[in-house]
Structure 1
Amino acid sequence: MTGHHWGYGKDNGPSEWHKDYPIAEGNHQSPIDIVPAEAVFDARLSPISLCYNNCTSVSISNNGHSVVVEFTDSDERSVIQGGPLEDMYRLKQFHFHWGGKGCRGSEHTVGGKTYASELHLVHWNAIKYKSFGEAAAAPDGLAVLAIFLELGDVHRALHQITDALYMVKFKGSVINFKGFNPKCLLPNSLEYWTYPGSLTTPPLYESVTWIVLKEPIYVSDKQMGKFRTLLFNGEEDDDRKHMENNFRPPQPLKGRTVRASFE
């Protein structure tokens, strides 16, 4: 398995990543199972502040592992701060992880419970670092806001994304996707758990402050089905595989403390 060909199959999936990325067996790997009874309430944790008011998306793409919505990298108007973060972090992109038909597919689990899907809003420390790439490899470089998706009613705002998926069906496809503000994907409550962790895909850098929201948002079964119409492969590939079960299972906690912003 070469570094460029990691994936979610039997031969190149999460159990094989350590061969090319030894950090996969490190001490701060993500995701984890969050055990609410063992999380420590920390009264010093302030609420997180999300300034997405003038946030502007640029494109939506299929990178062969997920669907990704990218944002203007120089945008000072879309930031996360407060909570466990000492600096202001700028929004770079968001993407999703999900299961197969009839299967659940969140990365983090809560007391062993898996959700239908998980949304990751990836931010980088633009105060300390000059680029996203530089930040991604630094211990305090990234902050990822994780939101669980649970099956239920239609999520109206998510339609803008699910309606565009047919245009990025194949790996490598990118289209303009302007004016989407992820504020509409937030749940009502921003209570959260937080812990030090890593990227959940190679290169698995241990550079992420995770902020996992307690309250999920709800999506319909039909909306989730549209994610599974995407393909892991490019248009020229004969062996086409639907994009599903693109998640990494929970990793050992290895002595880390999960803090909670709520009692």
Structure 2
Amino acid sequence: MSHPPCPWGYEKHNGPDRWYEYYPSAKGHNQSPIEINSKEVHYDHSLLPWFASYDPGAAKTILNNGRTCKVVFDDTFDRSVLRGGPLPGIYRLRQLHFHWGSSDDQGSEHVVDGVKYAGELHLLHWNPKHSNYADAVRRYDGVAILAIFLKVGKPIKREMKRILEEVGAIKSKGKEAPFPNFDPSILFPKSRDYWTYHGSFTTPPCEEVITWIILREPIIVSPDQMAKLRSLSMNSENEPFRPLVDNWRPPQPRYYRMPAKA
């Protein structure tokens, strides 16, 4: 008798080290995240600047799914899009979500020159040349993720406040709240410099369809802002509180891949 897939998570019994048991892609040769060694990054003069044009009216809801804090956008047409950089066309914004640690010295998924940041924000976009999102996640050029590191320090990025103000409404797993009129480009750092490589989703089934655009400059957050994220529970309302922390996958083997920069 075959067992149903185990609900994956970030604990010993269902964490990243075991995902491949149910999701064989997780053992592939194009997995993410990776460690970026800035001395080994190669210049690619064909790479362009990237641009995002987001419609604040596309923001719909904010939710806690027990694994992350996520904001969902309307992606039924090209209203919020990412283009340029390494991308072959426009990509539609579908959602953004966070990864963070139990302490300020870990939490990011990508690691830069041995440094782990306190968190990492992922803005997930898909290529509408494919018929729908479900189709895009099966295609090599299907998805683009813009990644931004969260670093604890001063002066802080005040724009994070809007998301974190809503965290109280989604304390437990399964909670969702309206989140209208939000333009995520207010979260971007000043510099548009980036690294790029081809990789995978960092959550199961870990499909290898992602063009990663990782911003080199982190945004600065406060200890209080990180504490807000750590105040979320991975359990439902009627279950004991269990802090939702350390929802990050460690770096995967890079194999032959070499990140590029413009």
Q: Return 5+ residue gaps in structure 1 as ranges.
A: none
CA shift, 1:75, in A, is: 3.9
Q: How does 1:29-178 map to 2 (within 5 A)?
A: 29-54=31-56, 56-126=58-128, 128-153=129-154, 154-178=156-180
Q: Distance in 2 between matches of 1:106 and 1:92?
A: 21
CA shift, 1:237, in A, is: 2.4
Letter in 1 for 2:143: L
CA shift, 1:54, in A, is: 4.7
Q: Return 5+ residue gaps in structure 2 as ranges.
A: none
SS at match of 1:212: strand
Q: What is residue 183 of structure 1 aligned with on the other side? A: 185
Letter in 1 for 2:137: A
Q: Distance in 2 between matches of 1:111 and 1:15?
A: 23
Any conservation in 1 of the 2:70–2:95 contact (CA below 8 Å)?
yes
Length-normalised TM-score, structure 2: 0.95
Cα 1:5/1:55, change in 2 over 3 Å = same
Any conservation in 1 of the 2:6–2:14 contact (CA below 8 Å)?
no
Length-normalised TM-score, structure 1: 0.95
More displaced, 5-14 or 133-142? 133-142
CA shift, 1:111, in A, is: 1.1
Q: Distance in 2 between matches of 1:76 and 1:156?
A: 28
Instruction: Count residues with an aligned counterpart.
Output: 259
Q: Distance in 1 between matches of 2:81 and 2:245?
A: 30
Any conservation in 1 of the 2:104–2:118 contact (CA below 8 Å)?
no
CA shift, 1:114, in A, is: 0.5
SS at match of 2:141: coil
Cα 1:60/1:46, change in 2 over 3 Å = same
Q: Please state if 1:6 is matched with 2:8.
A: yes
Letter in 2 for 1:191: D
CA shift, 1:55, in A, is: 5.3
Any conservation in 1 of the 2:125–2:143 contact (CA below 8 Å)?
yes
Q: What is residue 198 of structure 2 aligned with on the other side? A: 196
CA shift, 1:2, in A, is: 5.0
Task: Give a deviation string over 1:179-237, Cα, whole Å, max 9, x none.
Answer: 11101100011110000000000110001000000011000000000000101111122
CA shift, 1:102, in A, is: 4.4
Q: What is residue 257 of structure 1 aligned with on the other side? A: 258
Any conservation in 1 of the 2:95–2:123 contact (CA below 8 Å)?
yes
